Amino acid sequence: MSDKYHILVVDDELTSRKLIVGIFKKRGFQASQASSGKECLELTESLEPDIIFLDVMMPGMDGFETCKKLKKNTKTMGIPVVFISGLEDKNDILKLYKAGGIDFIPKPIDAQITVAKARTTLENLELIKDKNNLLKINKLILSKLNALFKEVALEEKISTSKEELHTSSSLLSELLEKLRSDLSKAIVTLDTIE
C-alpha cells in the first residue's frame, strides 16, 4: 500500500526533515522534501504529493500561510496537510485547523504516530475517492435509466398510437361496410320503386 503514495515533508530544519523522510522511506513510502513554504508550493505543483507534512514555524512563509495558499489553489486544495508542530497552546492548535490542516503531529517526532497518521489520512482519502467514483457510477446509471425510461415511454406512446390507429381503422372498415350495405339496400329499393 505505502509504495504507491508520495509524501512531501516540509521543514526548515534539515535534521527534522531528514528524520521524517527516513521514517517514511523505511516503510516503503515515496518521500520528497522541501525546506521552505515557497519551495513547498513549487514542488507541490510538480510532484502532486498525496499528503504534505508541514512544519509550522519556518522563516519567511510559515506553515499557516503556506497551507492557506495550498488550499486556495485549485490544483493543490485537495491535498491533505498534516502539521508538524511543537505548539501546545489550544489557540495555536486551532489555528492549524483553521489554516486548512487536517491533523498535526507534535514535536519531538514519534515514528509510529507519524506513520499511523499518514496511513489513516491516506485510507480516508481512498474511501473518499471510492465514494466519489461510486457517485459518478450511480449518476451514469441514473442517466442511462432515465434515457431508457424515456425510450420505453416513447415506445408505449407509439404502441398506443398504433393500437388507436388499428381500432380507428377497424371502426372505419365497419362503417364503410355498413355504408356499402346501406347503399346497396338503397339501390335495391330505388330499383323496386321504378
CA distance 14 to 61: 17
pLDDT at 114: 92
pLDDT at 66: 95
CA distance 171 to 155: 24
- Between the alpha carbon of residue 102 and those of residues 16, 38, 71, 78, the distances in Å are 21, 20, 12, 11
The confidence band for 125, taking pLDDT boundaries of 50, 70 and 90, is: confident
pLDDT at 186: 65
Tell me the percentage of the chain whose pLDDT exceeds 90.
Answer: 48
Residue bearing the bigger pLDDT, 145 or 126: 126
The confidence band for 87, taking pLDDT boundaries of 50, 70 and 90, is: confident
Residue 69 CA from chain centroid, whole number: 22
Cell 510532484 sits on residue: 47
Residue bearing the bigger pLDDT, 146 or 1: 146
pLDDT at 193: 66
Q: Residue 120 pLDDT more than 80?
A: yes
Q: What is the pLDDT of residues 1-38, one digit of tens each?
A: 566 899 999 999 999 999 999 999 999 999 999 999 99
Confidence (pTM): 0.69
Q: What is the pLDDT of residues 30-84, one digit of tens each?
A: 999 999 999 999 999 889 999 999 999 999 999 999 999 999 999 999 999 999 9
Residues 6+ apart with CB under 8 A from 67: 54, 81, 83, 99, 100, 101
- Please tell me whether residue 174 adopts helix, strand or coil conformation: helix
Q: What is the pLDDT of residues 129-140, one digit of tens each?
A: 777 777 777 787
Region class of 48: left (phi > 0), else alpha (psi between -120 and 50), else beta: left
Q: Mean pLDDT of all residues in the chain?
A: 85
CA distance 128 to 166: 56
Taking residues 140-157, report their average pLDDT.
Answer: 75
- Between the alpha carbon of residue 79 and those of residues 6, 139, 161, the distances in Å are 11, 25, 57
